[in-house]
Structure 1
Amino acid sequence: MMAAGERHGVAGVDRARLLDCLERLARIGADPAGGVTRLGLSAEEGRARAFLREICREAGLVTWTDAAANLFVTRPDRAAGHPVLLIGSHVDTVVQGGRLDGAYGVVAAIEVLRACTASELRLPYEPVVVAFSNEEGALVQYPFWGSRAMCGLLEGGTRARDRTGRSVRAYLAEGDGDPDRLAEAVWEPGSIAAFLELHIEQGPVLERRGVPIGVVAGIVGRTILEIEVLGQAQHAGTTPMQERRDALVAAAEVVLGVRRIAAGLDVCSTATVGYLEAAPNSTNTVPGTARLTAEVRDTDPLRLARGEAAVRAVCERAGRATGCRVVPRVAMRSRPVETDTAIQQVIAEAADELGLAHLAMPSGAGHDAQIVQAVAPVGMIFVPSTAGVSHAPAEDTPAEALAQGADVLLRTVLRLNHPPDRLSRVSGTEPALRR
């Protein structure tokens, strides 16, 4: 089996260093209850960026953080004006998430950049690493914040808040960003030749089939609705059952109805209520209000739209049945996208060169790549997830699989650069390095 990068004189990814960096990064935000809680735009995400900046500084790499709190890493001797091949992912997590989701793609991208730097390889397309901020939207309720900011797609994101009402502006001002200079975070049209994102699968397909590499063909679209239920708080012992306007009962109707949208009616691929709170949350009081989220996903935009419409219909029925007012509001939409077919082919060739079997597959999870796809061609590489678990403390991938994925990423970067015009045929542009 050929070592990664051997054909082009690149020593390859340092596997021991890759695994050590992942382990050290996992300590930042390590949750006493299990897993990693490193929420986007929080102090913990800022500490993760600081750790990566130091790692890169020690390696002789150059870093900068933009106004949206995105971290970028380049080679010190990069040639001004060269087109950019962006590689990376994100470093934030959900509450009690895993150590690999997002972080693996960033650390592996840094190792690819280090390998290219150590070889003194001159590349027509300059590799630049990115760690996007707040991909998950677990604290400030606006997923893909960093990639949207870079692509000029924030739209209503500048008004985003956490569940206590604290604004994204406050988080940026307190951390690594600058809410008054967000326009400067937008890359000019054509500035990115392509984007590559390496990620754990977050599902069971690759492991079950014994395939080490997934070549992502498409990324699921997602719509998130925030639902407010307005009932009436009353005494639990003195209010007759038939006279109640119980907000939690209405919310329960919504929860079950949302599940039926996908599990029973097959309107869309998945439909989930992942967040629910009721007030006053007292044992002897009929709940007067409730708040919950409903999320629908599908790779087909028509089915995704039907899923959203079905959620609205569920809310209407729950309101009529309980006498409550049930108000859904769209918090975020991301459209389903296809990855670039030419880049898919290059990823497959890279895996073949390393003797690794590969499988073309969709992604049921959302990724920054689907946002960047609006401004540049994208490709994604998957490695297996142990037992298909993700967004949970048990999230894991074998060390060998992590190393193999990083090797495929390196080979893909090199293949997109040789012959020199290969990536221009993919992107159809000749963009220049922004900084």
Structure 2
Amino acid sequence: MDLKKVLEENINALSSIGSDPAGGMTRLLYSDSWLEGQKYVQKQLEDEGLNTHYDEVGNLFGRVEGSKHPEETIMTGSHIDTVVNGGTLDGQFGVISSYLAVRYLLETYGKPLRSLEVISMAEEEGSRFPTAFWGSKNFVQVAERGDVEEIEDSTGAKFVDEMHRQGFDFRDVNKPLRDDIRSFVEIHIEQGSVLEKENLQIGVVNSIAGQRRYTVTLKGEANHAGTTPMNYRKDAVYGFSKISSKMIDRANEIGNPLVATFGKVEPVPNTVNVVPGEVTFTLDCRHTDSEALKAFATEFEEEVNNVATELGLEADIDLWMDEAPTPMDETVVSKIKDAAEKEEVSYKVMHSGAGHDSQVIAPFYPTAMLFVPSVNGVSHSPAEYTELEDLTVGVQVLASALYELAYKD
């Protein structure tokens, strides 16, 4: 197999499904293009001789039984849904890499001792409906039916109706959690610029950062910009500026791996000649250490309340996401490091600042990830790009890691 050529062909073919006239790709959960994409992957799996099936919600599996330990499964995969106007690598590169790595192993070494299974998860991005990790959360049986029964997309299409339209349904809650999975490995583009800047070929992920996300509303008093003296104002935007400046300075002071982002700011009335009487803003903060993340978040909440008191504002703080950091399994991390060394490629052990299906799976099964570089760190964009040579190296390292896990007794 000419791995580089076959990899390029598969990326191009799958990227044509959901190709967006506005640029990039749009392939959203339970859309027609999503189902077409899953069927494309299913055909590739079946062409390699893997037995395929879907679970109730639309996760796709392709499996080859182990010759000696069929009851022990080594799993690999990712997701094929995208963001709106996304790139051609996020998610689907992990799925394509997984089945090509398995294909290479079967052609080179024959049947594995342990079963090999590829998963193409139904959804990870949360781009169509206000839910995320629907595929992996159902796989590990933590998805809640009540979270999606009433939700709809931006067009008014209901989640449940669209799921049923494509032939899927809620999972059977009486089914036991699978006990055969010994390891899960996910490959992904980095979505950052660390590997590129350090001129490295592979990132071996040993943890996924935890996240806290807030929406905060400060309420002051809207008033005339020309007739209201500065010392009489209750300027909500001024309050925001003090909070954001202080907390960004603190994040820089604390340093990596903490990151803090004030990504959305909406002043009211948002006009040139009125003192803003209200502002709503968001904070996204992330860290690989639970206590450090909690400490920064607590400091942020205290700063909001202190500034509100100082300026005579009302503050409403909504913590709407609180995801703990997720460590990867040390043994699986070690296997990926060994694979990188065996393939004689440069690598570093690093954390992931972005969320991935692996963080949902890791509490249940031994899990680890590997990254390939992203040019300029761009992702979730039509400009998302990784050199084909780097993508190919990633598949080779993935195959080598799977060999260690599935073929060695």
State the TM-score bracket (shorter-chain normalisation). 0.7 to 0.9
Pair 1:193 & 2:193 matched? no
Q: 124-133 vs 268-277, which deviates more?
A: 268-277
Q: 148-157 vs 229-238, which deviates more?
A: 229-238
In structure 2, what is the Cα distance between the partners aligned to 1:90 and 1:194? 17
Letter of the 1:214 partner, please give it: G
In structure 1, what is the Cα distance between the partners aligned to 2:322 and 2:120? 22
In structure 2, what is the Cα distance between the partners aligned to 1:217 and 1:414? 20
303, 308, 333: which one pairs with 1:344?
333
Identify the residue that residue 109 of structure 1 maps to in structure 2: 98
Identify the residue that residue 217 of structure 2 maps to in structure 1: 229
Percent identity, aligned pairs only, is 30
Q: Secondary structure at the match of 2:71?
A: coil
163, 185, 190: which one pairs with 1:172?
163
Pair 1:406 & 2:388 matched? no
Identify the residue that residue 133 of structure 2 maps to in structure 1: 144
Letter of the 2:134 partner, please give it: W
Letter of the 1:328 partner, please give it: I
Partner deviation per Cα, 1:176-220 (whole Å, 9 max, x = no partner): 6423x3636x76152311100111122222223322222222221
In structure 1, what is the Cα distance between the partners aligned to 2:278 and 2:4? 52
Pair 1:270 & 2:259 matched? yes
Matches within 5 A, 1:289-328: 292-317=281-306, 319-320=308-309, 325-328=314-317
Letter of the 1:141 partner, please give it: P
In structure 1, what is the Cα distance between the partners aligned to 2:129 and 2:207? 27
Instruction: Measure how far apart 1:293 and its partner are.
Output: 3.5
Identify the residue that residue 26 of structure 1 maps to in structure 2: 15
What TM-score do you get using the length of structure 2 for normalisation?
A: 0.82
Identify the residue that residue 204 of structure 2 maps to in structure 1: 215
Is contact 1:135–1:145 with CA below 8 Å preserved after alignment? yes
Is contact 2:69–2:113 with CA below 8 Å preserved after alignment? no
Is contact 1:65–1:71 with CA below 8 Å preserved after alignment? yes
Is contact 1:75–1:117 with CA below 8 Å preserved after alignment? no
Q: Secondary structure at the match of 2:294?
A: helix
Q: Secondary structure at the match of 2:337?
A: helix
In structure 2, what is the Cα distance between the partners aligned to 1:288 and 1:166? 36
Instruction: Measure how far apart 1:136 and its partner are.
Output: 2.5
In structure 2, what is the Cα distance between the partners aligned to 1:331 and 1:281? 25
Identify the residue that residue 322 of structure 2 maps to in structure 1: 333
In structure 2, what is the Cα distance between the partners aligned to 1:239 and 1:102? 55
Q: Secondary structure at the match of 1:183?
A: coil
Partner deviation per Cα, 1:260-317 (whole Å, 9 max, x = no partner): 4523555971112334556777788887876544221111111111232234334434
In structure 2, what is the Cα distance between the partners aligned to 1:157 and 1:273? 30
Q: 1:261 to 1:69 in 2, by over 3 A?
A: farther
122, 125, 128: which one pairs with 1:133?
122
In structure 2, what is the Cα distance between the partners aligned to 1:289 and 1:76? 61
Is contact 2:25–2:85 with CA below 8 Å preserved after alignment? yes
Is contact 1:340–1:379 with CA below 8 Å preserved after alignment? yes
Is contact 1:233–1:246 with CA below 8 Å preserved after alignment? yes
Identify the residue that residue 71 of structure 1 maps to in structure 2: 60
CA RMSD of aligned residues (A): 3.8
In structure 1, what is the Cα distance between the partners aligned to 2:266 and 2:128? 16
In structure 1, what is the Cα distance between the partners aligned to 2:73 and 2:65? 14
In structure 1, what is the Cα distance between the partners aligned to 2:341 and 2:197? 20
170, 173, 184: which one pairs with 1:183?
173
Instruction: Measure how far apart 1:61 and its partner are.
Output: 3.6
In structure 2, what is the Cα distance between the partners aligned to 1:355 and 1:54? 33
Partner deviation per Cα, 1:201-249 (whole Å, 9 max, x = no partner): 2222222332222222222122223x25374897878995878877666
Matches within 5 A, 1:1-80: 14-40=3-29, 42-75=31-64
Letter of the 1:400 partner, please give it: E
Is contact 2:68–2:114 with CA below 8 Å preserved after alignment? no
Unpaired stretches in structure 1, ≥5 consecutive residues: 1-10, 421-435
347, 365, 368: which one pairs with 1:358?
347
Q: 1:64 to 1:357 in 2, by over 3 A?
A: same
In structure 2, what is the Cα distance between the partners aligned to 1:361 and 1:100? 20
Instruction: Measure how far apart 1:394 and its partner are.
Output: 2.3
Pair 1:391 & 2:380 matched? yes
Letter of the 2:352 partner, please give it: S
